[in-house]
A = this chain, B = another copy of it.
């Protein structure tokens, strides 16, 4: 565990931290693969091919559902040798639309955590993705009013975080970030002198003593998830 005293600002990642998100992509991929299976030649690894298109297109489309949908269509055209019927293309587009409008389900304890922290700290939401899609999700989540600052960024690297904190006059020394991604939410924050807690989306890791390597890395992964973190932060007041 890390020192949680002298905090002024607490920031939350959104997708898979405030609400479930990855499952939307997992479900969509599964349905896309089912949809395409009749048009594929034997021995094709659909998932592998889709991933290859996603990766190739990332630098043109960026992150997000619309680019992912275009990559699904491209995979369908390529792997079917152009024989994919229009009706299947339309089903893929409809799948993309469902992904963009699905209900937002808050993760357990999120609303309680925000309510408990709000009187004591400035709360930020920092999320990566497409502006319109993220704004739509924040609106649908009903959580917008809980945050003092909402920032949508296209990358989550140390420079982006540093600029964001500078822009708002926030001292990293009083800043705690919570998120499900080590790479995007935790390590860059530690790098710029802030504190971070790792809240994996699926609690699949072994319940075990805090790993020395993690403690040395300057962040905390509370075994009890968000609830334990909130209690610890409030104790630090």
A224 contacts partner chain B, Cβ-Cβ < 8 Å: no
Verify B82–A85 contact, CB threshold 8 A.
yes
| Complex Cα spacing A76 to B73, Å | 13
Which of the residues B60, B89, B100, B101 comes within 8 Å of A100, measured between beta carbons?
B60
Q: Which of A6-41 contact B (CB under 8 A)?
A: none
* A235 CA / B87 CA spacing, docked (Å): 62
- Asked if A106 is an interface residue, CB under 8 A from chain B, the answer is no
Partner of A90, one of B60, B77, B153: B77
Residues in B with CB closer than 8 Å to A66 are: 61, 64, 66-67, 70
- Among A57, A70, A83, A153, the most chain B Cβ lie within 10 Å of the Cβ of A70
User: A93 and B64 in contact (CB under 8 A), knowing A83-B86, A132-B154?
Assistant: no
From known contacts A82-B85, A86-B83, infer whether A63 and B93 are also in contact, taking CB-CB under 8 Å. no
Q: A97: CB under 8 A from chain B?
A: yes
Q: Nearest chain B CB to A102's CB is how many angstroms away?
A: 11
Residues in B whose Cβ lies below 8 Å from that of A89 = 73, 77, 84, 89
Contact B93 A61 (CB under 8 A): no
- In the complex, whether A236 has a CB less than 8 A from a CB of chain B is no
Q: With A and B bound together, what is the CA distance between A84 and B83 in angstroms?
A: 10
Pairwise interchain contact B81-A86, C-beta atoms closer than 8 A: yes
Cα-based distance from A129 to B70 in the complex (angstroms): 18
The answer to whether the Cβ of A80 comes within 8 Å of any Cβ in the partner chain is: yes
Is residue A131 contacting chain B, with contact meaning CB distance below 8 A? yes
Q: In the complex, A33 Cα to B118 Cα: how many Å?
A: 53
Residues of B near A86 (CB, < 8 A) are 76-77, 80-84
- CB-based contact B60/A74 at 8 Å: no
Which of A70, A82, A86, A135 gathers most chain B CB within 10 Å? A86
Q: Show the binding face of A for B, using Cβ within 8 Å.
A: 57, 60-64, 66-67, 69-70, 73-74, 76-78, 80-87, 89-90, 93, 96-97, 100-101, 129-133, 135-136, 152-154
4 shortest interchain CB distances as A-B pairs: A62-B132, A82-B86, A66-B66, A77-B86
